[in-house]
Chain A
Amino acid sequence: MTLSKDEVRKVALLARLELDESEIEKQAEHLNNLLNQFEKLQELDVEGIVPTSHSMPVYNVFREDEVHPSLSQSDTLANAPESRDGFFIVPRIIE
Chain B
Amino acid sequence: MPQLYELTACELSQKLDRREVSSLEITEAVLVRIAQVEPKVGAFLTLTPDVARNQAIEADKRIAAGKRIGPLDGIPISIKDNMCTKGIRTTCASKILDNFIPPYDGTAVIRMRDAGTVTLGKTNMDEFAMGSSTENSAYGPSKNPWDVNRVPGGSSGGSASTVAAGEAIAALGSDTGGSIRQPAAFCGIVGLKPTYGLVSRYGLVAYASSLDQIGPLTHTVEDSALLLNVIAGHDPMDSTSLKVEKKDYTQACRDEVKGLRIGVPKEFFGEGVDKNVSSLVHKAINQLCDKGAIAEECSLPSIDYCLAAYYIIAPAEASSNLARFDGVKYGHRTKELAGHIGLMEKTRDEGFGAEVKQRIMIGTYALSAGYYDAYYKRAQQVRTLIRRDFDTAFEKYDVLITPTSPTVAFKVGEKTDDPLAMKLSDICTLPVNMAGIPGMSLPCGFHDGMPVGLQILAKPFGEETIFRAAYAYEQSNPWRYARAVL
Q: Which residues of A contact B (CB under 8 A)?
A: 3, 8, 11-19, 23, 27, 30-31, 33-34, 37-38, 40-42, 44, 46, 49-56, 58, 60-61, 63, 71, 75-76, 78-82, 88, 90-93
Cα-based distance from A15 to B356 in the complex (angstroms): 12
Q: Please give the distance in Å from A61's CB to the nearest CB on chain B.
A: 4
In the complex formed, the residue of B with least CB distance to A60 is: B239
Smallest Cβ distance from A31 to chain B, in angstroms?
Answer: 6
Query: Closest chain B residue to A8 by CB distance?
Result: B361
Residues of A within 8 A of B319 (CB): 15
Task: Tell me how far the C-beta of B329 lies from the nearest C-beta in chain A, rounded to whole angstroms.
Answer: 6
Write out the residue numbers on chain A whose beta carbons fall within 8 Å of the beta carbon of B362: 30-31, 34
**B381 near A51: Cβ-Cβ < 8 Å:** yes
Among residues of B, the one whose C-beta sits closest to the C-beta of A39 is: B308
> Could you pull out 8 A-B pairs where Cβ atoms are within 8 angstroms?
A16-B326, A16-B345, A16-B348, A18-B345, A46-B381, A55-B435, A56-B242, A80-B328
Contact of B375 among A15, A17, A27, A38 (CB under 8 A): A38
What does DSSP make chain A's interface, helix, strand, loop or mixed?
loop
- Report whether B358 and A58 are in contact in the complex, using a CB–CB cutoff of 8 Å: no
Q: Which residues of A contact B286 (CB under 8 A)?
A: none
Tally of contact residues, B, Cβ under 8 A = 70
Determine the distance from Cα of A40 to Cα of B311 in the docked complex, in whole angstroms: 12
For A93, the chain B residues whose CB sits under 8 A away are 340
Select A56's contact among B196, B329, B382, B383, beta carbons within 8 Å. Answer: B196
- Establish whether residues A90 and B101, one from each chain, have CB atoms under 8 Å apart when the complex forms: no
Q: Are B341 and A16 in contact (CB under 8 A)?
A: yes
Is B365 engaged at the interface, CB distance under 8 Å to the other chain? yes
Interface string of B207-224 (1 = CB under 8 A from A): 000100000000000000
| B378 in contact with A46 (CB, 8 Å) | yes
- Given known A51-B383, A55-B196, A80-B330, contact A75–B103 (CB-CB < 8 A): yes
Q: Which residues of chain A are within 8 angstroms of B340 by Cβ–Cβ distance?
A: 90-93
Interface of chain B residues 302 through 326 with chain A (CB within 8 A)? 304-305, 307-309, 311-312, 319, 323, 326
B384 and A50 form a contact (CB under 8 A): yes
Chain B hits for A27, CB < 8 A: 357-358, 361
Q: Which residues of B contact A11 (CB under 8 A)?
A: 361, 364-365, 368
Contact digits for B346-384, partner A, Cβ 8 Å, 1 yes 0 no: 101100100001101110110010000011011111111
199-251 of chain B: CB within 8 A of chain A: 210, 236, 239-240, 242
